[in-house]
C-alpha cells in the first residue's frame, strides 16, 4: 500500500487545507499543539449524524446507545439529546449517564454479574429495565426486593440464541458456550421466562439477544434477530431487543452495511419469525468509531537493516489495546499531509515495556516522516478511550470534541498526581508529591 489514506476512514467533516487536515473546522495540527498528545479527537457533528441515522432507520425510542464503546458525560448527554436510550453495563456507567442528566427511564442496565449495589442503584434511579443474565441474578433481585421492600423490578431476559458472530472469538457473545445469557438450546431461557413470570419481585417485559461485535455481514445479525424473535413469539412476551454489533471499516476498501441495510434485514427477519411488534437495537461502535481519531507525536524512528523500520509514538497499548487484544488492524497518516502517498512500511509501536505494544503492525507512512511529526490513527472512537489503562503509569489521554470551528475539552488529561491519588500513605507518610519526596529521602538515608 502506497496510496493515500481513504477518506472513508475519516470523520465526516474532515477537510484538507493549508494547515493539513481539519475536523469540525479545527486543524488537527493545532489541536496537537494546544491539547498535547496522545489525544482523542471526536467529530461532534459526525456523532450526532450517526445517532440521527440510527433513529431514522429503526424508529424513535427504539435505539439504545451501547455506551461501553465510548462513554463520558458529554457523550451520554449527546446521545440523549439525539433521542437515544442509554445502555449501561455497570454501576459506573450508570453514574455517568445520570450525571449527564439522562432520566432513569431512558437507561437500561446490562451486565452478566451485577452486584447488590449496582442493582439497587438502578432500581432507585428508575431505570427502564434491568437485563437479567442468569438465575443467580434472579435470586439477588428477589432477596433485595424482600430486604428493601422494592416494587417489582422491570426485567428483560438475556438469551444466548446459539448464533455467534463477530470479528474475533472474544467478541462473539451469542453462542451456546457463552458467559452471557440463558441458553436457548439447553432450555434455560424457557425456564427463566417461567420463573420471572411467577416471581413477585420481577415484572417481565421481554427478551434480549446480542450475537457479537464488529459484524460486517448484516445477514448474521438478521439470523440472530430471527432466532430470538421466534423465542419471543413462543414465549408470549411483549418486548424484543435484538442487540447491536454492526461493524465498521478500519482499513481502506472494507465494505460496511449502513444502518438502513441493517434495519431492513432485521425487520424482515423478525417479521418472518412471526414478531409483529417493535424491537430495540443497541449500536455502539457503529455510532462512535469513525467519529474519533487519535493523535500521537513521533518520538523515534529506528531502521534495522534487512529487518524493518520501527516508528515509536508517545502512546500505545494503554490508549488502544485492540491490536494486542483482538488483532485489531488500523491505518496511520500525517495530519500535515493527510492525502500524501505512503510508500514507507514500518511497525508503529508505543512506548510501553512490551514487544506486543503494536498499534499498526505494517503501517503505510509518507517517506518524509520525521521525529516530532504529529501522526494520527483514524477510526479509534470506539473501545480506545473506553479500554484505556495506566500501564507503565502513563496518564490517560484527554478527549476533545470539535464542531463548527471550535474545540471543547470533555475529558481532561490525567496527570502524574492523579496516578498517586488512590495510593494510601503508610504510617507517618504524607499523601501526594510531597509525601513521595519525604518517603524517598527517608529510604535513601536508611539504605
- Structural domains in the chain? 7-42+290-414 (2.40.37.10), 44-288 (3.20.20.10)
Question: Between vectors from CA 206 to CA 266 and to CA 147, what angle results, nearest 5°?
Answer: 150
8 A C-beta contact, residue 311 and residue 365: yes
Give pLDDT, residue 437: 52
Give pLDDT, residue 3: 87
Task: Report d(CA 196, CA 157) in Å as an integer.
Answer: 9
With a CB cutoff of 8 Å and minimum separation 6, the contacts of 55 are 62, 63, 82, 83, 84
Contacts within 8 Å (CB) and 24+ apart, 140-146: 140/114, 140/116, 141/199, 141/201, 141/202, 142/199, 142/201, 142/202, 144/116, 144/119, 144/120, 144/201, 145/200, 145/201, 146/201
Average pLDDT of the segment spanning 143-164: 92
Average pLDDT of the segment spanning 135-153: 97
Average pLDDT of the segment spanning 165-184: 62
Instruction: Assess whether pLDDT exceeds 60 at residue 446.
Output: no
- What is the tens place of the pLDDT at every residue in 197-236? 999 999 999 999 998 889 998 888 999 999 999 999 999 9
Give pLDDT, residue 146: 97
- What is the tens place of the pLDDT at every residue in 265-308? 999 999 999 999 999 999 999 999 999 999 999 999 999 999 99
Cell numbers at 199, concatenated = 416471581
Instruction: Assess whether pLDDT exceeds 50 at residue 445.
Output: no
8 A C-beta contact, residue 221 and residue 262: yes
With a CB cutoff of 8 Å and minimum separation 6, the contacts of 296 are 37, 38, 313, 314, 315, 374, 375, 376, 377
8 A C-beta contact, residue 363 and residue 311: yes
Please state which of the ranges 43-57, 164-178, 334-348 shows the lowest mean pLDDT.
164-178
Task: Report d(CA 313, CA 19) in Å as an integer.
Answer: 22
Give pLDDT, residue 273: 97
393: alpha, beta or left? (left if phi > 0; alpha if psi -120 to 50) = left
SS3 117: helix
* Neighbour order of strands in the sheet with 15-17: 15-17, 20-23, 26-27
- What is the tens place of the pLDDT at every residue in 350-403? 999 999 999 999 999 999 999 999 999 999 999 999 999 999 999 999 999 999
Question: Between vectors from CA 111 to CA 107 and to CA 117, what angle results, nearest 5°?
Answer: 80
Q: Compute the chain's Rg from CA coordinates.
A: 24
Average pLDDT of the segment spanning 240-252: 95
Q: What is the distance, to the nearest Å, from the Cα of residue 130 to the centroid of all Cα atoms in its chain?
A: 20
Which residues share a beta bridge with 310? Answer: 302, 347
Give pLDDT, residue 166: 44
Q: Which of 42, 96, 94, 73 is nearest to 287 (CA)?
A: 42
Task: Report d(CA 211, CA 197) in Å as an integer.
Answer: 25
Quote the DSSP letter at residue 281: B
SS3 412: coil
Q: Which of 103, 8, 5 is nearest to 46 (CA)?
A: 8
> Could you tell me the pLDDT band of residue 168, with boundaries at 50, 70 and 90?
very low
- What is the tens place of the pLDDT at every residue in 86-110? 999 999 999 999 999 999 999 999 9
Average pLDDT of the segment spanning 6-21: 96
Of the chain, the percentage scoring pLDDT greater than 70 comes to: 92
- What is the tens place of the pLDDT at every residue in 15-65? 999 999 999 999 999 999 999 999 999 999 999 999 999 999 999 999 999
With a CB cutoff of 8 Å and minimum separation 6, the contacts of 374 are 28, 29, 32, 37, 295, 296, 297, 298, 334, 335, 336
Q: Which residues are catalytic?
A: 353
Output the CA–CA distances (angstroms, integers) from residue 421 to 93, 385, 410, 415, in the order listed: 21, 20, 21, 10
8 A C-beta contact, residue 341 and residue 261: no
With a CB cutoff of 8 Å and minimum separation 6, the contacts of 204 are 155, 156, 157, 193, 196, 197, 237
Cell numbers at 114, concatenated = 451485577
Give pLDDT, residue 431: 67
- What is the tens place of the pLDDT at every residue in 411-429? 999 999 999 999 998 888 8
8 A C-beta contact, residue 388 and residue 39: no
Instruction: Assess whether pLDDT exceeds 90 at residue 438.
Output: no
Instruction: Assess whether pLDDT exceeds 90 at residue 408.
Output: yes
By DSSP bridging, strand 406-411 and strand 292-304 are: unpaired
Instruction: Assess whether pLDDT exceeds 70 at residue 169.
Output: no
Which residues share a beta bridge with 347? Answer: 310
Give pLDDT, residue 176: 64
Give pLDDT, residue 326: 86
Upper half-sphere CA count for residue 51 (Cβ side, 13 Å):
23
Task: Report d(CA 178, CA 187) in Å as an integer.
Answer: 15
Cell numbers at 1, concatenated = 500500500
8 A C-beta contact, residue 295 and residue 42: no
Mean pLDDT, the chain, whole residue set = 93
If one counts every other C-beta atom within 10 angstroms of the C-beta of residue 125, the result is 17
If one counts every other C-beta atom within 10 angstroms of the C-beta of residue 257, the result is 19
Amino acid at each position: 500500500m502506497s496510496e493515500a489514506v481513504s477518506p472513508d476512514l475519516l470523520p465526516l467533516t474532515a477537510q484538507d487545507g493549508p494547515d493539513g487536515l481539519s475536523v469540525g473546522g479545527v486543524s488537527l495540527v493545532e489541536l496537537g499543539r494546544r491539547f498535547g498528545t496522545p489525544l482523542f479527537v471526536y467529530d461532534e457533528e459526525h456523532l450526532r449524524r450517526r445517532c440521527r441515522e440510527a433513529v431514522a432507520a429503526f424508529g424513535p425510542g427504539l435505539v439504545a446507545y451501547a455506551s461501553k464503546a465510548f462513554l463520558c458525560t458529554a457523550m451520554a448527554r449527546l446521545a440523549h439529546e439525539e433521542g437515544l436510550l442509554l445502555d449501561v453495563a455497570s454501576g459506573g456507567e450508570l453514574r455517568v449517564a445520570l450525571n449527564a442528566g439522562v432520566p432513569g427511564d431512558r437507561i437500561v442496565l446490562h451486565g452478566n454479574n451485577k452486584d447488590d449495589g449496582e442493582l439497587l442503584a438502578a432500581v432507585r434511579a428508575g431505570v427502564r429495565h434491568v437485563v437479567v443474565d442468569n438465575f443467580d441474578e434472579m435470586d439477588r433481585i428477589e432477596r433485595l426486593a424482600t430486604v428493601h421492600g422494592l416494587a417489582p423490578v422491570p426485567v428483560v431476559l438475556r438469551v444466548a440464541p446459539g448464533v455467534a458472530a463477530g470479528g474475533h472469538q472474544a467478541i462473539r457473545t451469542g453462542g451456546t458456550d457463552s458467559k452471557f445469557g440463558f441458553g436457548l438450546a439447553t432450555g434455560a431461557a424457557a425456564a427463566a421466562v417461567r420463573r420471572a413470570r411467577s416471581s413477585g419481585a420481577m415484572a417481565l417485559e421481554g427478551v434480549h439477544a446480542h450475537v457479537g461485535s464488529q459484524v460486517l455481514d448484516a445477514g448474521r445479525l438478521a439470523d440472530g434477530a430471527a432466532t430470538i424473535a421466534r423465542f419471543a413469539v413462543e414465549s408470549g412476551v411483549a418486548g424484543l431487543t435484538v442487540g447491536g454489533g454492526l461493524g465498521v471499516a478500519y482499513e481502506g476498501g472494507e465494505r460496511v452495511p449502513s444502518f438502513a441495510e441493517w434495519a431492513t434485514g432485521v425487520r424482515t427477519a423478525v417479521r418472518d419469525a412471526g414478531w409483529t411488534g417493535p424491537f430495540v437495537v443497541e449500536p455502539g461502535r457503529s455510532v462512535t468509531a469513525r467519529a474519533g481519531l487519535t493523535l500521537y507525536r513521533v518520538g523515534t524512528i529506528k531502521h534495522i537493516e534487512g529487518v524493518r523500520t520501527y516508528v515509536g509514538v508517545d502512546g500505545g497499548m494503554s490508549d488502544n489495546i485492540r491490536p494486542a487484544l483482538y488483532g485489531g488492524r488500523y491505518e496511520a497518516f500525517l495530519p500535515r499531509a493527510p492525502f500524501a502517498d505512503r510508500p514507507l512500511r514500518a511497525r508503529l509501536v508505543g512506548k510501553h515495556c512490551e514487544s506486543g505494544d503494536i498499534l499498526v503492525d505494517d503501517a503505510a507512512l509518507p517517506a518524509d516522516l520525521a521525529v516530532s511529526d504529529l501522526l494520527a490513527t483514524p477510526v479509534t472512537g470506539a473501545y480506545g478511550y473506553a479500554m484505556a489503562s495506566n500501564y507503565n503509569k502513563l496518564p490517560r489521554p484527554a478527549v476533545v470534541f470539535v464542531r463548527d470551528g471550535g474545540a471543547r475539552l470533555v475529558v481532561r488529561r490525567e496527570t502524574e498526581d492523579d496516578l498517586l491519588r488512590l495510593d494510601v500513605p503508610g504510617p507517618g507518610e504524607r499523601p501526594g508529591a510531597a509525601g513521595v519526596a519525604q518517603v524517598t529521602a527517608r529510604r535513601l538515608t536508611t539504605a
